[in-house]
Amino acid sequence: HAKNEGANRYLFFNDSMNKLAVKRLQVENLIRHGLKEDYFTVYYQPKMDIVTGQLVGMEALVRFITPKKGLISPAAFIPVAEETGQILEIGEVVLQKTCEDVKRWIDMGLFHGRVAVNLSAKQFMLPFLCEQIDDILRRSELPSYHLELEITEGTVMQSPTLAIDTMKKLRARGIHLAMDDFGTGYSSLAYLKQFPLNTLKIDKAFIDDMNTARGRNMVDTIVTIAHNLNLTVVAEGVEHAEQLQQLKQLRCEIIQGYFYSKALSAQEFGLFLKQQKQQKPKLAAVPA
Ligand code: C2E
Ligand code: MG
Ligand code: MG
Ligand code: MG
């Protein structure tokens, strides 16, 4: 009987669902298994002060590593997790683990800055988001001022009034807010000035275009808008010294990218922090 049922299910897939849907179901099952087995972990990418070359913070980036399939890229599972709602559980795991890691580094005297955690649209829309964050901060004994949350234009534009309300509640707790992937989504300048943001992150796509005059003008314009709104500017995906120089000239404050470091495991990042303490900053050596 069970065998029959299996066969029916197989037919069902072949007849009624396209390959994409099957793939999506496989990823959904993989995520469910991964959550149960604790295969989700957090890596950290340093954010550096462009002038001093000092570490100012880091971005927490989820990594899904299974014994059978190895690393599964966020691009492959985040969209599925968003659709199925599994992103809520993943997001909670990421927040919890991040707060625990950062608390440890603070207690060791290795870190004093802020860690940025990405929030999905569904997570940001949770009616009890602030309470969930309060609980996690309390459990991990991490003061709220060590936390920054990254949200995208798409997330806040779904319901700008509601978003402003949530953002104000988070800010009241001392949590910082960053607009991620700026320029790739849809948002109006009228709203941008109403959002209580601290940081604007210029998407890598714009940084990639800085080898042309047009591209540099574009980044210049974005930095100007950000500064007019009193926002700190982070450039994402900085890979070359040339980009760094140009961003410095444009008065961008913080850079993040492979030029300095890719995302590191908690263990690697701990070592990185220890080296930071001993070594002279790498970027300070780059002439202005
Ligand atoms: P994001 O938030 O814009 O994160 C930056 C992405 O750019 C990361 O990819 C990072 O590894 C990559 N990156 C940084 N510097 C460079 C560079 O110099 N060159 C190149 N080629 N890439 C660089 P990652 O970790 O694969 O994450 C991709 C996206 O997945 C993130 O984009 C974010 O939207 C999402 N994501 C990652 N972790 C989480 C999470 O915990 N929760 C949620 N909701 N989304 C997450
Ligand atoms: Mg981000
Ligand atoms: Mg980004
Ligand atoms: Mg991006």
Q: Which amino acid is at 93?
A: V
- Cβ(139)–Cβ(110) below 8 Å: no
| Ligand 1 atom with least separation from CA of 94 | 41
CB 12 less than 6 A from any atom of ligand 1: no
CB 181 less than 6 A from any atom of ligand 1: yes
| ipTM tops the 0.85 cut | yes
CB 74 less than 6 A from any atom of ligand 1: yes
pLDDT in tens, 53-71: 999 999 999 999 999 999 9
CB 258 less than 6 A from any atom of ligand 1: yes
Residue 152 CA to ligand 3 centre (angstroms): 8
In angstroms, what CA-CA distances link 276 with 56, 90, 256? 11, 30, 16
CB 91 less than 6 A from any atom of ligand 1: yes
The protein residues having their C-beta less than 5 angstroms from ligand 2 (an ion) are 118, 150, 180
Residue 129 CA to ligand 3 centre (angstroms): 21
- Measure the CA–CA gap between 115 and 99, rounded to whole angstroms: 9
Single pTM value for the model: 0.92
The 8 Å CB, 24+ separation contacts for 29-38 are 30/66, 30/69, 30/72, 30/77, 31/64, 31/77, 31/80, 31/81, 31/84, 31/86, 31/90, 32/86, 33/66, 34/64, 34/66, 35/86, 35/89, 35/90, 35/93, 37/66
Residue 56 CA to ligand 2 centre (angstroms): 15
* Residue-level pLDDT at 2: 45
CB 120 less than 6 A from any atom of ligand 1: yes
pLDDT by position in tens, the chain (length 288):
444 555 555 555 565 567 888 889 999 999 999 999 999 999 999 999 999 999 999 999 999 999 999 999 999 999 999 999 999 999 999 999 999 999 999 999 999 999 999 999 999 999 999 999 999 999 999 999 999 999 999 999 999 999 999 999 999 999 999 999 998 988 888 899 999 999 999 999 999 999 999 999 999 999 999 999 999 999 999 999 999 999 999 999 999 999 999 999 999 999 999 998 876 555 554 554
Q: Are strands 70-72 and 254-256 parallel, antiparallel or unpaired?
A: unpaired
Residue 34 CA to ligand 3 centre (angstroms): 24
Ligand number with the minimum distance to the CA of 48: 1
Q: Which two tokens stand for residue 121?
A: 């649209």
pLDDT in tens, 132-163: 999 999 999 999 999 999 999 999 999 999 99
pLDDT in tens, 20-50: 888 899 999 999 999 999 999 999 999 999 9
- Measure the CA–CA gap between 221 and 224, rounded to whole angstroms: 5
